[in-house]
Amino acid sequence: MVAQTLYDKLWQDHLVHEDADGTGLIYIDRHLVHEVTSPQAYEGLKLAGRKVWRISSIVATADHNTPTKDWNKGIMDPVSRLQVETLDANIKESGALSYFPFRHERQGIVHVIGPENGATLPGMTVVCGDSHTSTHGAFGCLAFGIGTSEVEHVMATQCLTQKKTKAMQVVVDGVAGPGVGAKDIALAIIGKIGTAGGTGYSLEFAGSAIRALSMEGRMTLCNMAIEAGARAGMVAVDDTTINYVKGRPLAPTGAVWECAVAYWRTLKSDDGAKFDSVVTLDAAAIQPQVTWGTSPQMVTTVDGFVPDPAKEKDPIKREGIERALKYMDLKPNTPIVEIKLDKIFIGSCTNSRIEDLRAAATIARGRKVASNIKLALVVPGSGLVKRQAEQEGLDKIFIEAGFEWREPGCSMCLGMNDDQLSPGERCASTSNRNFEGRQGAGGRTHLVSPVMAAAAAVAGHFVDARKL
């Protein structure tokens, strides 16, 4: 038998039909739904007189628009409120396996609640009208973001039409140094292959440094696969995966659990499987990363410098750097550690899980947020993450240091609620996109890990968290 990649196996296990030209019809096991990309899909379904094919595949929550404070006041913005209420009504009418509405104790960011409730299980196809669905690939899933037309398509047919991508293996071997985490690995990969480097591919992350990551770390890594342009990112199933899944509310139990585990253990690339492309990185060489521009590939190390466009020979790239530096209000050759911040955001589907908050808290403990920082936000990824953090006393550490401890949601990652940057404000953010205006019109975003964000909060500027 031909040695298969993990992607080959997942593809084959979900292939309902294949046309002569290679267009496949893929069965979807889990459909995660949120308020922003679903209303037009439900409306389309209704207008066509169609019903949801398999209600039990749908797990839904409200996360993008929801406020992160004063929950007792509800959602003040009427436009946001209507969108969230529309989801409430659509779920009430069409049904779901689980729904975690605004203010539910298990509500949270869709890519956090899926895994923590066992709604994401190894070997699944997982889709959501959200590009960061790649997160779920951490469980050996084929997981990818889709648009609203495809949300409607999955609701109506439980399937999607697509062609198989190429497969890229990203091998990270060695031991990452202390203070270097999954976010740094992710940004280092994007720095190496570029934001279009993964276009046309599904990525499998492999190597000893990946095996050593917790599930939280693997989710951070797979989450950022989309920022490399890839359809999906994934990690093979191992004990870490299975131990994480065990006991989750929607995970199987008893004899079915044993049967599932036996299957899940096959979810890895075979020895000798051929990848269309292989990229390798040495974990020991990866330093804490900081983005300086308006694309995640515009990244350097904390001991690095803002690049000098004069040194770039390619005119389009040079213009890109110049435009980014103008937007970011940065001068060429400035040391990264001299960049001062206005706001700090610790949260998002990239870095809002318990391990992220613990890591940030190690830096915040016994320190104070610098006086030039106007706002330092910690936004847990879900109600469960929040509760666990509070049980561990992390909330008190953050609050004593001068951070604000908020309710869960997407928050300032994209600023659909009140958590935004004002024009010109500069933010150290644990989120995933530093695009122009992403966190608020005119706002300037630097992507970093949770420890680097916490360190920037207490120093008031970027600093190597390992030196604090």
Partner 1 sequence: MEKFISREGLVAPLDRANVDTDAIIPKQFLKSILRTGYGPNLFDEWRYLDQGEPGKDDSKRPLNKDFVLNQPRYQGAQILLARENFGCGSSREHAPWALLQYGFQAVIAPSFADIFYNNSFKNGLLLIKLDTKIVDRLFKESEASPGYRLAIDLDQQSISTPGGEHFSFEIDAFRKHCLKNGLDEIGLTLAHADKIKAFETGRREQCPWLFN
Min dist CB 144 to partner 1, Å, is 8
- State which of residues 150, 342, 356, 395 lies at the interface with partner 1 (CB under 8 A): 150
- Looking at residues 9 to 48 of the shown chain, list those that interact with partner 1 (rule: CB under 8 A): 16-17, 19, 21, 23, 25, 27, 29, 36-37, 39-40, 43, 48
In single-letter form, the type of residue at position 108 comes to: G
Residue window 45-64: x/- pattern of binding to partner 1, with contact defined by CB under 8 A: ---x-x--xx-x-------x
- State which of residues 252, 304, 309, 460 lies at the interface with partner 1 (CB under 8 A): 252
Query: Do residues 384 and 42 make contact, with C-beta atoms less than 8 angstroms apart?
Result: no
Residue among 27, 42, 13 at smallest CA distance from 158:
27
Residue among 235, 228, 234 at smallest CA distance from 199:
228
Pick the piece of the chain touching partner 1 (CB under 8 A) from 180-188, 378-386, 414-422, 449-457.
414-422
- Looking at residues 177 to 236 of the shown chain, list those that interact with partner 1 (rule: CB under 8 A): 195-196, 199-200, 226, 229-231
Query: Do residues 105 and 380 make contact, with C-beta atoms less than 8 angstroms apart?
Result: no
Closer to partner 1 by CB, 23 or 243: give it.
23
- Looking at residues 124 to 143 of the shown chain, list those that interact with partner 1 (rule: CB under 8 A): 124, 129-131, 133
Cα torsion angle, 267, 270, 273, 279, sign: positive
Min dist CB 72 to partner 1, Å, is 22
- State which of residues 309, 437, 466, 468 lies at the interface with partner 1 (CB under 8 A): 437
CA distance 165 to 148: 21
Q: Quick check: 388 binds partner 1 (CB under 8 A)?
A: no
CA distance 24 to 19: 6
Q: Quick check: 320 binds partner 1 (CB under 8 A)?
A: yes
Residue among 455, 463, 464 at smallest CA distance from 361:
455
Q: Could you count the other beta carbons within 10 Å of the beta carbon of residue 77?
A: 14
* Cα 179 from chain centre: 20
Min dist CB 436 to partner 1, Å, is 6
Q: Quick check: 238 binds partner 1 (CB under 8 A)?
A: no
Q: Quick check: 436 binds partner 1 (CB under 8 A)?
A: yes
Q: Quick check: 310 binds partner 1 (CB under 8 A)?
A: no
Residue among 232, 184, 175, 229 at smallest CA distance from 205:
232
* Cα 366 from chain centre: 29
Closer to partner 1 by CB, 254 or 272: give it.
254
